[in-house]
A = this chain, B = another copy of it.
Amino acid sequence: MANDVHYFTEENSAEAVLARIIDPQNERLAEVMTSIIKHLHAVVKEVEPTYEEWETAIEFLTATGHMCDDRRQEFILLSDVLGVSMLVDAINTRRPTGATENTVLGPFHVAGVPNREHGDTISEDGLGEPLYVRGTVKDSDGNPVAGAIVDTWQASHDGFYDNQKPDEKPEHNLRGIFKTDEKGAFWYRAVKPAYYGIPNDGPVGKMLEGLGRDNMRPAHIHFIVSAPGFETVTTHLFDSQCPYLENDAVFGVKESLITDVELKDDPDMAASIKMENPFWAVDADFVLSPAS
């Protein structure tokens, strides 16, 4: 061995494990595992688990793995509720002040959504309180970005995405892709999204319960906004009146993404945009930073 021999002791435990990484095939894996090993041993030394607690941890991880299939990813849920997904997102989307901030993609985005025209509704079932969304895409200097692609999706009035309830909801309900006009604008009709609970019938739900934590996500609308020459933004807009704003189970809320959803009583406008009066309205304004 190239290194000094390190037999394991309680005191040198992490060093004894790290001393075995001598000539890794995968340098990046070695870098990542070095950090993980140091912190994993620090956790064990801090909490001093009993054998039974260690077994509980093994059982938790095993049950989390067994919960994962084509429709359910319990380890991503775990990453989400521990704030890890958001932290990875934050690290990979550092942007200049003023640019729209990212937040998590979430598990409900799908490809193959129809392109829609300005003013169209994205509601395929007509259920819920009408919401008018009007937005702009601009660059950091305030110039409109024409031809930007705005991919939006959201939960329904009862808190479900179409692909969560394929038997009940029409395909592509509350999903649509728009292209901004020459003024960088887009507008469409939707329904007011509801807050909803993330799945709580697995090991992650049990963990949240033990910690006394909510499993709710505050009401929000998802957007992916992209245009040539700019960083793609994956984000949500959050309803400023939602009671769960301050305890999003996955930590997706950023202050800059909280937006007022206003009730409008304006029969003329309602008629011009083909909506019932009164109706909800929200501004969805995005600022893109230059591609790096």
Given A44-B91, A65-B68: A86 and B210 interface contact (C-beta under 8 Å): no
A253: chain B residues at CB < 8 Å are 7-8
Determine if A246 and B36 form an interchain contact, defined as CB atoms under 8 angstroms apart: no
Query: What is the distance, in angstroms, from A233's C-beta to the closest C-beta of chain B?
Result: 15
Contact partner of A211 (CB less than 8 A), chosen from B7, B26, B39, B66, is B26
Determine if B41 and A8 form an interchain contact, defined as CB atoms under 8 angstroms apart: no
Determine if B88 and A54 form an interchain contact, defined as CB atoms under 8 angstroms apart: yes
A32: chain B residues at CB < 8 Å are 47, 49, 53
Determine if A24 and B212 form an interchain contact, defined as CB atoms under 8 angstroms apart: yes
A224: chain B residues at CB < 8 Å are none
Check: A255 CB closer than 8 A to any chain B CB.
yes
Query: What is the distance, in angstroms, from A84's C-beta to the closest C-beta of chain B?
Result: 6
A43: chain B residues at CB < 8 Å are 35-36, 39
Determine if B47 and A7 form an interchain contact, defined as CB atoms under 8 angstroms apart: no
Determine if B50 and A61 form an interchain contact, defined as CB atoms under 8 angstroms apart: no
Given A88-B54, A90-B13: A37 and B68 interface contact (C-beta under 8 Å): no
A71: chain B residues at CB < 8 Å are none
Query: What is the distance, in angstroms, from A44's C-beta to the closest C-beta of chain B?
Result: 5
Contact partner of A14 (CB less than 8 A), chosen from B7, B51, B83, is B83
User: Could you show 25 A-B contacts with beta carbons less than 8 Å apart?
Assistant: A1-B246, A8-B252, A16-B83, A20-B213, A24-B212, A25-B210, A25-B211, A25-B212, A26-B210, A26-B211, A29-B210, A30-B210, A30-B211, A32-B49, A36-B82, A37-B82, A37-B83, A39-B39, A45-B87, A49-B91, A58-B73, A62-B68, A63-B65, A64-B65, A65-B75
Question: Which of A's residues lie within 8 Å of B, judged by CB?
Answer: 1, 5, 7-10, 13-14, 16-17, 20-26, 28-33, 35-37, 39-51, 53-54, 58, 61-66, 68, 73, 75-76, 79, 82-88, 90-92, 94, 207, 209-213, 246-247, 251-255
